[in-house]
A and B are shown apart, each in its own frame.
Chain A
Amino acid sequence: MDIAAILIPLLPLLSFVIIGLTSKHIGHKLSGAIATAAILTSLALSLVVAKEYFFDLGRVNGAYAPHIAFNFRWLTFNSSLGIDLGAILDPISVMMLVVVTSISSMVHIYSFGYMHGEERFKNYYSYLSLFTFSMLGLVLSINIFQMYIFWELVGVSSFLLIGFYFTKQSAIAAAKKAFIVTRFADLGFLIGILVLGFGAESFDIASINERLTAAGSIQMLGMKSVTFLGLSSLTWGALLVFMGAAGKSAMFPLHIWLPDAMEGPTPVSALIHAATMVVAGVYLVARLFPIYSISAPEALHFIAYVGVFTAVFAAIIATTQNDIKRVLAFSTLSQIGYMMFAIGVAGWGPEQSEGFTGSMFHLFTHAFFKALLFLGAGVVIHAIHSNDMTDMGGLRKMLPITNAMFLIACLAIAGIPPFAGFFSKEAILNAAYHSDKLIFGLGVFASGLTAFYMFRLYFNIFWSRPATDHHNHEKGSAAMIVPLVILGVGSVFAGFIPFGEFVSADGKPVELVVHLGFSILPVCVAAAGILVAYVLYFKKNDRPDKIAASLGGLYKAVSNKFYIDEVYLFVTKKVIFPFIGRPAAWFDRNVVDGAIQQSGLVTEKLSGSIKQLQSGKLQSYTMYFLGGAILLAALLIFKFL
């Protein structure tokens, strides 16, 4: 099991290196085959690891204990402080291994069809391998600095893949935006790491968790006694780490990069910007969950409110977008908001850990149906050559399998039983109900909106107009259809996994009960959302336009994403550039550069004046030599003798 756990991330790395080094000599098909073979092997290994961990070796005395598969002292600062590299197996990391490798395998296979004929096909597969390696490394990290390294690596591979079509101006801008926004958030993450690491006197995640939560531990008391603006340094550290998590997971107000990231190829959006990388923030909070729940509950409340706000906010925007990938992007924001507030309402201990389990459960199921939605959207875009849903309609005969799979995914994300999303959403809402009624209400509202905009999308793509084109476009693209079907099966059945048995905050099983009485409200709300979408969009009519017109300014504000991008532009262009950037640039050019240039000028002048000494005349040189020798002799005689 240990060797398998190490091989899982290393195989994609190997594939990245091989494709990267030999890309001039091997063909497109072979490079894709290498990457796909590597990820399929990783998938098989992670399934083996998951089976062994969950069913044989992981359970110690009725609870799942973390298992260190590999540990290596990388940097040593002193006897007690160093940075380790290693691989940890515990319920959430094993679960993430399975999610990342399975979604990544599907995307690798799918890309054979979607990226066919692309000039930079080989680069694409090497970037995919790099991303998969980084994400798996992030998941397995035992040390918070190791996590930070892989955290940045996934950021880089995301940047490379968003900017894959780098001849398009918008793709370049989107890649830069994603990188800068997440980097800005990572600044907070880094400071948070340093605060927590300084307080806990360790960078090892397990020791940080232990030292900062144990009752009466010196480190925790030390951190709690230092306060800044009314919050203890422990809370500040937790909040700063959450800032990094919010950047990667695109929580409000750092969400602005994710919708633009849809400039990348659609399979990339499915893998990175829907199923895996963007949930890294949730994973990070889950990794440090003991600190949040026991020592910094204020930070956890903050996470809950940020999460639920993002869930509602993004769902509202999603109802007005016309670009199908952007609808899915805002839907991703909203669903990650769900995971965040679920973890935010959770607590330590068996009764309150339902939110934690629900969050991880939703992460798991969301990966399947959201990847399915994106890959389905990719098939549609591939067939229509447009992202705009106003260009679509009546595609049900043209893309029958995609139609069916898309419907399954929409039902799953809307939370209709018995599809996967129902179970995880139920667990989340149940946890919210027992913790905070306001969050619960907003969560139910967002779930209604989710059902509405997903079915708005579905009806606009596949219905809305009569199916005129009876020619089946799916023939001959098995590489794209097979992953859809596999993910469709996952979206139907993933909910039946007894998730509470396996994943919980403290490793002990949690009972996830579906109360029939409790489920009625969310399901009815979701059904109402579907019904409204059906009335408005099933057949083309003028009702949506009338509603939009009657809402006037509000509709405009929502469809412009509440002008958040414009606010950012205003702040950067009108405040940061003239008042911070320009003075800093002036200081750099005139003071810093000036000092350097002055010292250069002095050297130049001095050397110009003394270079006349080098006359090329041997005898003048010997004169200097003699003078020097006489001087030394005089010194020796009169000074030292």
Chain B
Amino acid sequence: MEMIPLAHILVLSTMLFFIGVFGFFTRRNMITMLMSIELILNSVNINFIAFNKYLYPDQLEGVFFTLFVIAIAAAEVTVAIAIIINLYRKFSTVDMDEADTLKH
């Protein structure tokens, strides 16, 4: 079976990463920002899997790492959602720019 070249996969993950970063910077909605973070994490996961597959096909470290990242990401989502709910209760909005009381 002919394999997809590694470079293609890296291009994909890089694109995914910067889409996530762009979303994180430009969106003001906290839910959307959370989704952008998930994109960034997933781009990392793709890199892990790709390098595992192409460089060390007889080992599984990359795969394990990916599983850990997914688990951590799930935990992180729960924490983030909890923070968002609390912020919503305080400011009655999920707009990031409204929550700027911690400035100088």
Contacts and interface: CB of A to CB of B under 8 A. Distances in A.
- The A interface, classified by DSSP as helix, strand, loop or mixed, is helix
B2 interface: no
Interface in A596-619: 611-612, 614-619
Given A619-B25, A626-B21, A611 B104 contact: yes
Interface string A437-467: 0000000000000000000000000000000
A614 B104 CA distance: 6
B58 interface: no
A619 B24 CA distance: 8
A465 to B, nearest CB: 85
A622 B25 contact: yes
Nearest to A613: B104
A580 interface: no
Interface in B3-30: 21, 24-25, 28
Interface in A569-625: 611-612, 614-619, 622-623
Contact of B25 (A611, A615, A616, A623): A623
Nearest to A611: B104
A615 B97 CA distance: 10
Contacts of B102: 616
B101 A622 contact: no
A146 B44 CA distance: 71
B96 interface: yes
A618 B101 contact: no
B96 A617 contact: yes
A622 B24 contact: yes
Interface in B60-104: 96-97, 99-104
A612 B25 contact: no
Given A622-B24, A622-B25, A626-B21, A617 B97 contact: yes
A619 B96 contact: yes
Contacts of A611: 104
A615 B102 CA distance: 8
Contact of B103 (A615, A622, A623): A615
A466 to B, nearest CB: 90
Nearest to B101: A616
B24 A612 contact: no
B104 A618 contact: no
A617 B28 CA distance: 10
Contacts of B24: 619, 622
Contacts of A619: 24-25, 28, 96
A617 B25 contact: no
Nearest to A626: B21
A617 B100 contact: yes
A623 B21 CA distance: 10
A306 B100 CA distance: 80
A98 B15 CA distance: 96
A45 to B, nearest CB: 69
A609 B100 CA distance: 20
Contacts of B104: 611-612, 614-616
A30 to B, nearest CB: 60
A614 B103 contact: yes
Given A622-B24, A622-B25, A623-B25, A616 B100 contact: yes
Contacts of B28: 619
Nearest to A607: B104
B48 to A, nearest CB: 18
A611 B103 CA distance: 9
Contacts of B103: 614-617
A612 B104 CA distance: 7
A423 B67 CA distance: 104
A619 B36 CA distance: 13
A638 to B, nearest CB: 19
Contacts of A622: 24-25
A618 B21 contact: no
A615 B25 CA distance: 15
A616 B21 CA distance: 19
Nearest to A617: B100
Interface string A546-562: 00000000000000000
B102 to A, nearest CB: 5
B25 A618 contact: no
A115 B28 CA distance: 81
A483 B28 CA distance: 92
Q: Specify which of A614, A615, A619, A622 lies most central, judged by the most chain B CB atoms within 10 Å of its CB.
A: A619
7 contacts: A614-B103, A614-B104, A615-B103, A618-B96, A619-B25, A619-B96, A626-B25
Interface of B: 21, 24-25, 28, 96-97, 99-104
Given A616-B100, A619-B25, A626-B21, 12 more contacts: A611-B104, A615-B104, A616-B99, A616-B101, A616-B102, A616-B103, A616-B104, A617-B96, A617-B103, A619-B96, A622-B25, A623-B25
